[in-house]
Structure 1
């Protein structure tokens, strides 16, 4: 027998599904802007290990190199990203959902245990709750990253009007570098998030759509089999 258990409120699901395409468009439009001054790379001495991004990257993904279009799209969706994030944070505090999301003193230990289990280095799996320690840390980090992206974005968008913010972030070049690093962080989060969704299975995914999860009902003491009793199996 199975039971239906509520998991995600409607507001949380809306914020999640609005944020996903908005952030994806922000990253895409950011690529339209970045190509005009693609200075970042990982270099060891005179050897370039990784360049962000070679021309072949744009060609293979069919990313148009249109600066004005990228800036227009980026700045429009910046406000959607900001408003959706603001309402999400306000809702979590007003509704009390923050209690499930904010890491506690056990979260880092639990996150390490989750990592070892997922890498098949440990058979121990921490107790399953609404969010485990790794998820609490990741989701809280995403909120902080969103704030960082907004501040650094304003600093490089209006460095004169927000000169004090640009100065606090170490200057224009520093603010732009932080903005770029945060974007790479979003991409990595997307990849890990999708892999974890696939691992968790359909039941976990549909709970973010419907708001509930289907779980097996634990047997009552009267239903538990005795040591010599055969357990029926549905074929």
Structure 2
């Protein structure tokens, strides 16, 4: 999910007058952790939706159930003369989501479930298997984050590519304008939007995902009861966990869109082989 780590010395670069320099941009640590995260987040998302379907409601507070009015999201089914209809309730407002949420499948064989079978692992109802898959990849994600953090401290990736400088922040308005006009500068270095977005993912969303996941564990609550105080209860932690997951999905979609817009072959090559093609030198471009 990040696009830069180490740039080799000049003797390790290859220049093409028409295409610019080919620089070694991504270290082995960056590439290995990047693709491990891709696999982890794939299985975590869809196994998480399997777990969510066991109770397709989100609450604020310690308690939940029919006796309480603290639900902020609910996916359910209602009976009608024409058959079951899916209803999604968000902050008290109801939406007919038949075919997607609440009720999915075919008209002949409707399935009453929060998220449809195509979005869960396993596709059939199996909470136990979903939990095993989810927990395995959750711990793999934590281990990979630890490896990435240590490696990034050692090789300077955190300081060089994630932490924005004063000059970076000064260029933020121009960088936003360039992205809005799909003007991308292939310099072999992170721009300020990348630094800020990756910093939020690594140091806000990932920690929140991990800590709220631990808060939902009764065993962890017994060992670390302060988690319940930080997140306002187990049900609130579950809601925050869901929101953080949604933000990660949005980040992923934007990330993929930017990769395609900036040149997918060049971007994927750098994340597979480590080598990245920069822009040709231009006297008219101050970023070169």
TM-score range, shorter chain: 0.7 to 0.9
Partner of 2:28 in structure 1?
Answer: 10
Partners of 1:178 and 1:132 lie apart in 2 by 29
Distance 1:28 1:109, change over 3 A: farther
Residue from 183, 193, 218 that aligns with 1:134: 193
Q: TM-score scaled by structure 1? A: 0.81
Q: TM-score scaled by structure 2? A: 0.67
How far off is 1:187 after superposition? 0.7
Partner of 1:55 in structure 2?
Answer: 103
How far off is 1:8 after superposition? 0.9
Superposition pairs of residues 191-210 of structure 1, within 5 angstroms:
191-201=253-263, 202-210=265-273
Deviations 1:174-209 (A, max 9, x none): 111111111001111110111111111111221111
Deviations 1:5-59 (A, max 9, x none): 1111111111111111111111111111001111143636544488994332414
Superposition pairs of residues 4-43 of structure 1, within 5 angstroms:
4-40=22-58, 41=73, 43=90
8 Å CA contact retained: 2:188, 2:276: no
1:211 equivalent in alignment to 2:274 = yes
Query: 1:37 is paired with a residue of what secondary structure?
Result: coil
1:102 equivalent in alignment to 2:163 = yes
Residue from 207, 213, 220 that aligns with 1:153: 213
Which piece of structure 1 moves more, 156-165 or 44-53? Answer: 44-53
How far off is 1:114 after superposition? 2.9
Residue from 134, 140, 158 that aligns with 1:74: 134
Distance 1:61 1:180, change over 3 A: closer
Partners of 2:153 and 2:178 lie apart in 1 by 31
8 Å CA contact retained: 1:149, 1:182: yes
Distance 1:53 1:115, change over 3 A: farther
**RMSD of equivalent CA atoms:** 2.9
Distance 1:157 1:189, change over 3 A: same
Q: Normalized per residue, which structure has more helix?
A: 1
Residue from 186, 189, 192 that aligns with 2:248: 186
Q: Normalized per residue, which structure has more strand?
A: 2
Distance 1:163 1:184, change over 3 A: same
How far off is 1:108 after superposition? 4.5
How far off is 1:112 after superposition? 4.0
1:172 equivalent in alignment to 2:172 = no
Query: 1:85 is paired with a residue of what secondary structure?
Result: helix
8 Å CA contact retained: 1:43, 1:50: no
8 Å CA contact retained: 1:32, 1:69: no
